[in-house]
Amino acid sequence: MGKSNLVISKSNPLGGKIWFSFILFGLVGQLTWAVENSYFSTYIQQTITAESWATSLTVIFSAIFAATATILSGALMDRLGKRRPFVCYGYILWGIITMAFAFFGNEAYTNDAKTITLIVIAFVAMDSIMSFVGSMANDAAFSAWVTDVTDITNRAFVDTIGSIFPLIAMVIILVGFSGFANSGQWTQFFAILGAIPAVSGIIGLFIFQDSPNLKPSRDKTYINQIAYGFKWKNVKENKMIYICFLGMMFSSIGMQIWMPYMISIIIDTLQVDYVVSVVTVILASAGISLVAGKLMDKYGKDKFYYPVALLGAVGGIIAFFTKYTQRQSTTTTLLLIIGGTFIMASSLMMAGLFNATARDYIPEGRAGCFQGIKMILVIMMPMVLASLIAPIIINTVALKPTAEFLITHPTYINSYLYPHELFLWAGLITLVVMIPAFFVKKDAKNIRIRKLEELNRVK
C-alpha cells in the first residue's frame, strides 16, 4: 500500500443513535464510578474512620470483585453475541445497589474499634456487590460494545472523548451534588446518584442496540471461553494487546496512589478551596486532552507516548511542592492546579492512546473476553498495588493534625493527615509507562497499515 493510501481524509461516521448511547452510558457509568472511587472513600474517612486500612480494604475488594465480574460476563457476552441486556439491565441494578448505600446514614459513628470494624465490613461487602454489577455492565459490556461499533478511523477520537467522561462526571457531582456530601447529607447523595444509572438503563432499553456485525463467538465450553485470554498461546498471538494494557496499568497506578485520598488531601491537608481547584483541573486537563486527541489523529499516536509520560511526572513534582507553601493559600492553589492538571491530562491521554491501540489489535468476536484481561491489568492491579504502596507512603511521612483542626474533625483524633508525597510518587511511577510505550511505538505503522487494508477490503 502506498503512502498516500495511508491518509484518512474522513472518519467513518457512527450515527446519532450510537453517539447518544456512547455519551449516555459512558458518562453515567463514570458518574457512578466517581461515587464509588472518590466519595465512598470520603464517606469512610469522614464518617466511619480515617485509618487508611479501611480505605485500602474497600479499594482492594472492589477491584477483585470488579475483575471477576468482567472476566465472567465478558466471556459470556462473547459466547451469546449480545451486549445490550448486560448494559441496560446491568445499569438498572447498578443504580439500585448504589441507592442502597443511603441506609448507612449521615451521622459519624462511634470510636469503638469493634463497631467500626463491623461497619467497615458491611460497607466493603456492599461495595463489592456494587462493583461486580457495575463492572459487568460498564467495563465488560459497554466497553466491548464500543470496540464493536468503532474502527481504526474513529477510535482515537472516541476513546479520547471517553477518557474525559470521568472528569465531566466529577464536575457534575461537584456542581450539582457535592453540597449534599459536604454538608453530611450522605443519604440524599447516594439516593440521587444511584437513581441516575437506573433511569439510564431504562432509557437504554428503547435506544441501545448491538452492532449488526456482532455474532456469537463460541468455544467448546464456557470455561474455555473464560480461559481464552489467559492461555499462553493466545497471549503470544495477541501480545500487543497485553503490552497496551501494561502501559495503562502503570499510568493507573500513578493515579490510584492519590485519587482515593484526593478530596481529603485538598480539604484537610492543603486546606484550599476544593471546588475551585478540582473544577479548574478538570476543565483544563479535558481541554488539553481534546486538543491532543486531534493532534494524535493528525500526526500519529506514536509521537505522543513519551511526552505524555513526562508531563505526568512533571505534574507530580509540581503538586508535591505544595508541601512548602502550606500557609500561602494562593500559591498552594496555583501549584495544585498546575500540577494536578498535568497529572490528570497525562492520565487521560495515556488512556486514550493505549486504549484505542488495544482495540485495533483485538480479534473479531473477542472484545468481551479481553475486557476481563483489561480489568485485571488496568483496574484491579493498579488499585491493589496502589493500596499497598499508598499506606507505606502515608505511614512514613504522615502529618499530625493540629489541635485546632481536631475541633472540627474529631475522627482524626487518633490518626493523621494525608501527605503531599502522594503527588510526588504518583508522578514518578508514571515514567514506567515509557517501557511498554517503546514497543507500541515500534509496531504503530504496521497495525495502521493492516487495519486500513482490512477496511478497504470490506468497502
Residue 103 burial by Cβ neighbours in a 10 Å radius (0-12, 13-18, 19+): exposed
Strand locations in 221-330, DSSP E?
Answer: none
Four-point Cα dihedral 31, 292, 441, 259, nearest 10: -30
The reported pLDDT for the residue numbered 404 is 63
Beta-carbon-side half-sphere exposure of residue 273 (alpha carbons within 13 Å): 12
How far apart, in Å, are the Cα atoms of 199 and each of 83, 89, 120, 196, 205?
A: 18, 10, 29, 5, 10
Angle at CA 24, nearest 5°, toward 20 and 30? 145
- Over residues 379-436, the pLDDT tens digits come to 778 877 888 888 888 888 876 666 566 555 655 555 667 888 899 998 888 899 999 9
Query: Using 50, 70 and 90 to split pLDDT, how confident is the model at 67?
Result: confident
Domain residue ranges of the chain, discontinuous segments joined by +: 16-209+221-458
SS3 401: coil
pLDDT over 50 (residue 1): no
Grid cell listed for 118: 463491623
Nearest partner of 165 among 37, 304, 338, judged by Cα: 37
Fold of 16-209+221-458: Growth Hormone; Chain: A; (1.20.1250)
- Over residues 69-96, the pLDDT tens digits come to 999 998 899 888 899 999 999 999 999 9
Which is more confidently placed, 152 or 139? 139
pLDDT over 70 (residue 153): yes
Mean pLDDT lowest for which of 102-106, 139-143, 214-218, 221-225? Answer: 102-106
pLDDT over 90 (residue 196): yes
SS3 390: helix
Q: Which residues contact 7 (CB under 8 A, 6 or more apart)?
A: none
Query: Using 50, 70 and 90 to split pLDDT, how confident is the model at 97?
Result: very high
pLDDT over 50 (residue 9): no
- Over residues 264-312, the pLDDT tens digits come to 888 888 888 877 888 898 889 888 988 887 777 677 777 888 999 999 9
Angle between helices 329-361 and 239-258 in degrees, nearest 10: 160
DSSP-derived letter for residue 435 is H
- Over residues 229-267, the pLDDT tens digits come to 888 998 998 899 999 999 999 988 888 888 778 878 888
